[in-house]
Structures are given as C-alpha cells and as structure tokens.
Amino acid sequence: MEIKSIFFTAVKALWINKTRSVLTMLGVIIGVGSVVLLTSIGTGLQLYIQQQFANLGANTLFVVPGNPFGENGGLGNQETAFIESAQGKIKRRYLDKILRDHRDVIADGAATGFSTGEAKYKNKTKKITLLGVTANYETVNNFQAVKGQWFTNNDESGSRRIVMMGAKITEELFGQIDPINKQIKIEGQNYRVAGVLESKGGFGGPSFDNYIYLPLNTLFDDFNTELIDSFSIKVKDESQVDEATKRIEKTLLAQNLKKDEFSVFDQTQLLETINNILGILTAGLGAIAAISLVVGGIGIMNIMLVSVTERTREIGLRKALGATPNVILIQFLFEAALLSVTGGMIGVGIAYAGSLFIQQYFPAQVTPQAVILAFTVSTIVGLIFGAAPARRAAKLSPIEALRYE
C-alpha cells in the first residue's frame, strides 16, 4: 500500500472523529503556543535592550562603585554589599582629573548623582527617581529633548531649580498639558520644567522615561547628598576603548581607591550580563511551558489507545484483506503525527497573534528558530507518544480482532 494512500486513510480516520481530534490537539496547541509566546517575549526584550544600548554608541564607558557583575556575571548579594560599601568612594573631582589627563583618547564625560522623592503638579502626585547630572550628560549619553532645551553649565554652576522630564513621568503628571515652563513641586521645593526628553526606555533596568533630571549641583544642595552614582565617559574612537579603560583604572587607583571599590566597563560587558540573565529566564519559562507539550503528548497517547480499542474489528478486517503490520503501524503513526503537527501549527498561529497584541505594551518577537523548535518538538512528541498505540495496533491478530466485540 502506498504511503500516500496510508496518509489519506489516516486523515479520513481523524476527520470522522473531528471533535475528539480537536480536543486531543488542545494540549499540543497550548504547549506550543506557550513555548513560542514566552520565548518571543524573552527574545523581544533582548533585542529591545540591544537597540537601546546601540543608541549610546559603542564608545561609551561607565564607571560605577563596586563590582556590578560578580564572579559569575550576575548581580548577587555579595556584589550588592560591595557596591553599597563603595558608595561615596567615587568623587566628582576624579572625573575632572580623568578628562584633564586623557584628552587624547577621551572626548567627554558626565557625572550622575541619584535620589528619590515625590513630585507634584496641581492635584497629581508621583513617586519619582531623581538623577542629578552634569550639563553635558545630554550629549555624552545621546539624549535629545523633544520639547524645550537642556539646562546649561550656568544652570548647573548656579544650582538652579530647573528640571528635564522623562517622557512617561511627563505624561503621568501633565497628561495633554504642555509642561514647558510649568512649576512642579519636588519635596516641597518649586522647580521649573525646562524640557521633555525623547522616550529612551531602559537598559534592562528601570526606564529612563520615569526619571526627572536636574543639575548635579542642585541635587547636592537641595537633597543633602554628594554621592556620585556613576560616570559615563565618551571615548573618541571605538578602537581606543580598551586603552581608555586601562588609563581610567590607573587614574582611579592613584586616588587611593581599591580595585574592588570601582568598576570600569563598556556597554558590551553590561549587555552580555543582561543577556545572560534574560537567556536563563527565557529558557526557564520555555521549559515550564514545555510541560504542556508533554501533557499534550500523553493526551495523544491515551486517545490513540482508545482509538485502537474502538477500531479493533476494523484493524482485523484490514489485515484479513492483506494489510501488513507495517501498514497499520504507519497509519497510526501518521494519525498521531497529524494531531501533533496540526496542533503545533495552530499553537504557532495563536502565539504569533498574541505577540502582535503584546507588542503594544511590551517588546515581543516571534523568531523562526522558536517556531522551528516548537514545531519539531511537537512532531517528535506526537511520534513518541503515538508509537505505543501504533505498535499495539500493528501486533493485533486479524482473527482475534475480527472476533472482538
């Protein structure tokens, strides 16, 4: 009997029991859909973060207290303790010295301080993160104002109460109102809104769109702090990044800083760490979702076993008319594979539609690799769990099968 005829016989057998076939496929549909959708969210987030880092440029270095990476490339309790103990070790004057001593390889550098507070405009109040930054922060980190303009060196040196607003916090406080030159209260003090920044998202952490930026000296004066959270340093050429890193480390060590009290890294290292974390998270979510595939496979096996029992007389008749055990085996394997593959296709379609919906709120991208993997796994699941019922059908004695009631 030709493979083509066996295939159409299997299709016909499934079509006769349409409702049962659809219900059998549900486990595979849910499993494949979950795997593809969850991996698409993880992949989309990774691509989004990569794009955000690309906006900074490959020639940007960061200097932070402590060691944010740890021995295994991740931020753990020990590393967090190091960072906390190193707070206050990095001084603004260190950035001035770095820029002064290494002008041949470093184009510019900005310092950042950090605080939290409460911002209020009329009857709207929001908890906020404040970033005190030097006036050149905008150019060093490739920020752009979509409304108004960034504050100047004079604003910073004069500790003026002037702020730049992230896109999201602007929308939450002002809605459709133009915020330029409006006054907001931060911890009881009035600040003038000088501008609104383009949406930047976040680099695997809190979104920059939720921040309010003010001159670094203003932060120091109004919030009783002198802690530097980080330096961002623009190297003149990408080929000089390694050289600049070594020079910065040497300069900081010369300021009586210990090696574990600061870190100098480029975006590649930070991106690699974030991708490692996201990769593990995506794999874990995919593995959890894959359990549904196993459940779906068990469902296929159970239904196929029931089908073998129900069709015992049919199998006996076909064997009596000359069908070999291999023909029966292949037919039942075809039926199991069709259930699994069709369920997989429907699952991929649902996942794709789901990812399009999610993209409105969160980065998600269905990749060909995820589709191929889910499709392959669903086929293998169908064949593996369909093998036992198929072998049972193939081994039935035609005489005993014909006697079956």
8 token code pair: 């159409």
pLDDT given at position 65? 86
- Cβ 272 vs Cβ 6: under 8 Å: no
Looking up tokens 């009857």 gives 123
Segments in the chain below pLDDT 70: 1, 50-58, 68-88, 201-206, 268-271, 289, 309-313, 315, 318-319, 321, 396-405
Specify burial of residue 18 (Cβ count, 10 A radius: 0-12, 13-18, 19+): exposed
pLDDT given at position 72? 42
Half-sphere CA count of 74, side-chain side, radius 13 A: 10
Q: Give the C-alpha separation, 33 to 377, whole Å.
A: 12
How many residues appear in the chain? Answer: 405
Find residue 3's DSSP bridge partners.
none
pLDDT given at position 111? 93
pLDDT given at position 57? 62
Q: What are phi and psi of 146, to 5 degrees?
A: -90, -20
pLDDT given at position 161? 95
Q: Give the C-alpha separation, 147 to 179, whole Å.
A: 9
Nearest residue to 110 via CA among 216, 246, 245: 216
Question: pLDDT per residue over 343-383, tens digit each?
Answer: 888 888 888 888 888 887 777 777 787 788 777 877 787 77
